[in-house]
Structure 1
Amino acid sequence: MFRKVMRILTAGLLLFACMVPHTHVHVAGKEDRMKDRLSEYLASEEHLQGAAFAIHITEEHSGRTIFEKSADQRMRPASNMKLLTAAAALDELGEEHRFETIVATDGQVKNGQLNGNVYLIGKGDPSLTYEDVQQLASQLHELGIKKINGDIVADDTYFDRERYSEDTTWKDESAYYGAAISALTAAPDSDHDTGTVKVMVEASSPSGKPTVNAVPETDYVSIQNDAVIVSSNEEAELEVKRIHGTNDIVISGSIAAGDSEREWVAVWEPTEYVLHLFQDYVKASGIQVTGTAKTAKAPANRTELLRKQSAPLKELLLPFMKLSNNGHAEMFLKHIGSKEKAGNWEDGINLMENYLSDIQLPKEQMVIRDGSGLSHVNGITARQLTTLLTQIKQESWFPAFKTSLPIAGKAERMVGGTLRNRFVDTELAGKINAKTGTLTGVSSLSGYMETKSGEHVAFSILLNGLLDEEEGPRIEDQILKIVYEELKSMHTN
């Protein structure tokens, strides 16, 4: 209650501040020139003809509007939805929160034999990798267990059994960005694309078929290689797809000689995937297993053998926001929706909406269907996003939030993220911390920009109905360049 009262008081102070004239950015006549330049550009940009766009730019410290265009029009935000998810997760869980994976038993260990079942219990860790699963199996052997007289059981009941958010299409199911969600799932590498295998295709010979390998090595998936190698001067296009409802991956098309490609493919039933890996690793560690592998809820009366904790949430936000990880978004949402029952989308969204209402973003004015922005039904306004960006500056966890945002023009992946190739070698390199977003026909960019004088603005640019969403980043960049140039002019003239 105290926290809610403080948020309301803070919002009131911000509103009061917005009513008081500020001279940090505003210079009579010159701000009008910026608005004129932006309006002229938006009217002349051919790729915006027939499209819808919403823009809101404010002074970060006061919330005063510098420029707006259709700022209250609900738009599809794409991955800008992750700004809301990150804020809600930080507020609910805390930046030091760690996710857990537990190995337990309902039996006892005697003379190197475990008489009972072994349970691998997932608690929604979005950063668990196949190597972590392998290490848990090795540690089980290090406990002195040489034989398990029972079953190996995977427990994913911390979340419900809904694998896909409401508007996920079947076409997204095999893509890494549309991976199924489970409380027990694993990634093939440190990018943490959970619930996937990494398929690597190499054309080392001048002709014939390319070489295919998967990480992790597992027979949980089968790979059919129908691809061919073509000469380097021929047009090549490779396709890697999983057949719906199966774990059969088909590689087709062509790859140029000397080239290599990688594709992260989402598996069907991620819990079974981790169970399969764990069973294989347990046996490979030298432990004999008499029973079978299955999924079930672990009994309340159990003994914990091992516990794997993730890095704190503030560190997990880096791959989540920098690389725009959809699976993490949905897992965070289910996790905060796990108070009274198994984590689920409905309760997670309700909790997120309650948090947003606390910071003066009424849920009645939004449409929220998931945590990642993958849904085309989501509806958020540009003003709501800049309000979020200015309001959360008061939160103790704000530094972790801002650090997680991609930084323009910074080449390192876990720094620049999805903005690492934008604004390179310009004055704006290093001066923009923002979240990108892309869907079919949609491009978005929302975050913070530092001006030449050291002031900061919060902005949100939402572009919908684009015939070519790949044009979106160019348009967003040009808008911000105009704003930066004009704000710079206000201070230097």
Structure 2
Amino acid sequence: MLRKVMWVLALGLLLFTCMIPHTHVHVAGKEDKMIDRLTDYLANEEQLQGAVFAIHITDEQSGKTIFEKNADQRMRPASNMKLLTGAAVLDELGQDHRFETIVATDGQIKSGQLNGNLYLIGKGDTSLTYEDIQRLANQLHELGIRKINGDIIADDTYFDQERYSEDTTWKDESAYYGAAISALTVAPDTDHDTGTVKVMVNASSSSGKPEVKVVPETDYVTIQNNAVIAPDNEEAELEVTRTHGSNDIVISGSIATGANEQEWVAVWEPTEYVLHLFQDYVKASGIQVEGITKTAKAPMKHTELLRKESAPLKELLIPYMKLSNNGHAEMFLKHIGSKKKAGNWEDGINQLEHYLDGMKLPKEKMVIRDGSGLSHVNGITARQLTTLLTRVQQESWFQAFKTSLPVAGKAERMVGGTLRNRFVDTDLAGKIEAKTGTLTGVSSLSGYMETKSGERVVFSILLNGMLDEDEGPVIEEEILKIVYEELKSMHTN
């Protein structure tokens, strides 16, 4: 009788099992092989000896951990910090938000004359270029204005007057990635490195000295060209720097014969830079100016003459993430901190932390000092980054967020971004969408990856204390290669 009962129970269990829909079932031993390979690689990679590394890899949908090592160790994330800032600004402003730049007056236009002051009011447009400022000046002429009986005034009070985040070093000030932050700032091209000029050095001259061109053409900066054209048998190295506290740009060293080099140099005081350009363009359009130029807040009562709107935020996120634009990150942070007063770092960081709290990422377990990751004091864990990347998939703006990430091995600049020269001609090309990060001694990579079998994972790799941060990408790529290869048969149907 007992045998009969056991047989019936076994048959029932078999029938019940057959009724369960096929799902992913773990295949014993396959995941162990991946873990063994990763563990062996990490233990024996010479560049990691003496360094600190943190890795967290999860299933994209469930968030289940596939591999972790030091995943809860706070690390300097470098530009992986932009993932947090990008998510927060999308959540706060919305993917269709547009930024404005306004031209206004406190006077009246009569018989071709503007009797009153002219105001250029910045609202923190990250995409504004010098050509936009030139167009606004020309449009004033098209309105029929031929003379301004008043001053030209730049208003950048939408943000506070603090130009640099607290951990910016003086050596970063002249570099494009450390440019001063203002609510009224412009870029020299569509890379949108705000607050910079582009210095172009050409060595085709027969005089022995290279030719130098500045974009935009302006006397706001001065050029001291000490560079020479190197003989064919000599190694050439060119240096372009700005003297601290001034707009004197010094070009030194040598450049190879026939070579062309360019460098984006941050200006000292970006609002004054825009004001200087605007005045020049207004005069060049044929408008006479009687007054002076200065910076001040526009009066509450003013008449708007012109308005320039940016592209929607979802489009501005492309150069921000793809090209890892630090200036945009800090401007975004000030934007989300501008609810009750001028946008500033303290309120921006508080709002970012409030957003992360809502994502179940407690601020007490992070150190956040800026929006870009330029600070060496920031502290974020690999698990926190993968948690963020997993949870933002449920947001209405997620597609804009994901589209903004660099794509491995894609040559087009605004597609591959900072990953365009990585994973080229490998199976992983086009399979990784991730944010890169680099500081002295730091390399990071966090994002999404599709394996050979079509499995999708979320990953974060943070490397600190590197003797040479340029070795970081090699390590990151080897780690992801192992995951790509070994996860291809980790599940079955």
Name the TM tier (shorter chain).
Answer: over 0.9
Determine if the alignment matches structure 1 residue 62 to structure 2 residue 59. no
How far is the alpha carbon of 1:163 from its aligned partner? 0.1
- Aligned partners of 1:304 and 1:296: how far apart in 2? 17
Q: Please name the residue that 1:176 is paired with.
A: 176
Match of 1:252, SS state, is: strand
Q: Which residue of the partner structure matches residue 84 of structure 1?
A: 84
Q: Distance in 1 between matches of 2:297 and 2:155?
A: 5
- Cα separation, 2, equivalents of 1:344 and 1:477: 37
In structure 1, distance between residues paired with 2:346 and 2:89: 15
TM-align CA RMSD: 1.2
Give secondary structure in 1 for the equivalent of 2:338.
Answer: coil
Alignment of 1:85-484 (within 5 A): 85-206=85-206, 208-484=208-484
CA distance in 2, matches of 1:94, 1:220: 36
Amino acid at match of 1:282: V
Deviation at residue 208 of structure 1 after TM alignment: 1.2
Secondary structure at the residue paired with 1:263? strand
Within 2, Cα distance between the matches of 1:43 and 1:25? 30
**What do residues 28-69 of structure 1 show as CA deviations (whole Å, max 9, x unaligned)?**
111011011000000110000000000000001000000000
TM-score (norm 2): 0.95
Secondary structure at 2:271's aligned position in 1?
A: helix
Alpha-carbon separation, structure 2, partners of 1:211 and 1:403: 39
Once the two structures are TM-superposed, the CA of residue 23 in structure 1 deviates from its matched residue by: 6.2
Q: Is the 8 A contact 2:454 2:488 kept in 1?
A: no
In terms of Rg, which structure is larger?
Answer: 2
SS in 2 for 1:140: helix
Q: Within 1, Cα distance between the matches of 2:473 and 2:487?
A: 21
SS in 2 for 1:190: coil
- Tell me how far 1:451 sits from its aligned partner: 1.6
Q: How many residues align?
A: 472
Look up the SS of the partner of 2:79 in the other structure. helix
Residues in 1 aligned to 2:71 and 2:398: alpha-carbon distance in whole angstroms: 24
Q: Deviations over 1:272-331 (max 9, x none)?
A: 000000000000000000000000000001000000000000000000000000000000
Distance 1:25 1:371 in 2: 41
CA separation in 2, counterparts of 1:27 and 1:315?
Answer: 42
Which one-letter code corresponds to 2:391 in the other structure? Q
Change in Cα spacing, 1:266 to 1:24, as seen in structure 2 (3 Å) is farther
In 2, Cα distance between equivalents of 1:427 and 1:24? 24
For 2:152 and 2:205, how far apart are their aligned partners in 1? Answer: 43
Comparing 26-35 and 143-152, the one that deviates more: 26-35
**Alpha-carbon deviation of 1:125?**
0.3
Deviation at 1:207, TM superposition (A): 5.4
Q: Which amino acid aligns with 1:191?
A: D
Instruction: Report the CA distance shift for 1:467/1:257 in structure 2 as closer, same or farther (over 3 A).
Output: same
Change (3 A) 1:25 1:405: farther
Matched, 1:28 2:28: yes
Encode CA deviations 1:448-481: one digit per residue, 9 max, x unaligned: 0012222210000000000000000000000000
3-state secondary structure, aligned to 2:246: coil
Structure 1 unmatched runs, 5+: 1-21
Query: C-alpha separation between the residues in 1 aligned to 2:351 and 2:480?
Result: 33
Whole-Å separation in 2 of the counterparts to 1:35 and 1:182: 48
> Aligned partners of 2:37 and 2:453: how far apart in 1?
21
* 1:160-196 Cα shifts (integer Å, max 9, x gaps): 0000001000000000000000000000000000000
Is the CA contact (8 Å cut-off) linking 1:207 and 1:230 kept in structure 2? Answer: no
Superposition TM-score, scaled by structure 1 size = 0.95
Matched with 1:41 is 41
Distance in 2 separating the partners of 1:230 and 1:395? 55
Quick one: distance in 2 between partners of 1:426 and 1:23?
Answer: 30
Q: Is the 8 A contact 1:449 1:457 kept in 2?
A: yes
Q: Is the CA contact (8 Å cut-off) linking 1:117 and 1:148 kept in structure 2?
A: yes
The structure-2 alpha-carbon separation of the partners of 1:260 and 1:24, relative to structure 1 and needing over 3 Å to count, comes to farther
Q: Does structure 2 retain, via aligned residues, the 8 Å contact 1:203–1:210?
A: yes
Secondary structure at 2:490 match in 1: helix
| Alignment check: 8 A CA contact 2:336 2:351 kept | yes
Q: Which residue of structure 1 lines up, in the alignment, with residue 6 of structure 2?
A: none
Q: Which residue identity lines up with residue 42 of structure 1 in the other structure?
A: L
CA distance in 2, matches of 1:54, 1:438: 15
Distance in 2 (CA, whole Å) between partners of 1:410 and 1:141 is 44
TM superposition shift of 1:80 = 0.1
How far off its partner does 1:232 sit?
3.1
How far the C-alpha of 1:427 sits from its partner, in A, is 1.0
Superposed CA offset, 1:312-355 (max 9, x none): 00000000000000000000000110000000000011011001
> Aligned letter for 1:27?
V
Q: Given that residues 25 and 487 in structure 1 are in contact (C-alpha distance below 8 angstroms), is that contact kept between their aligned partners in structure 2? A: no
Q: Is the 8 A contact 1:206 1:230 kept in 2?
A: no
Tell me the secondary structure at the aligned position of residue 239 of structure 2: strand
Partner in structure 1 of residue 12 of structure 2: none
Percent identity, aligned pairs only, is 84
- What are the ranges of 5 or more consecutive residues in structure 2 without an aligned counterpart? 1-21
Q: How far off is 1:26 after superposition?
A: 3.6
Asked whether the 8 Å contact 2:199–2:264 carries over to 1, the reply is yes
CA distance in 2, matches of 1:137, 1:122: 15
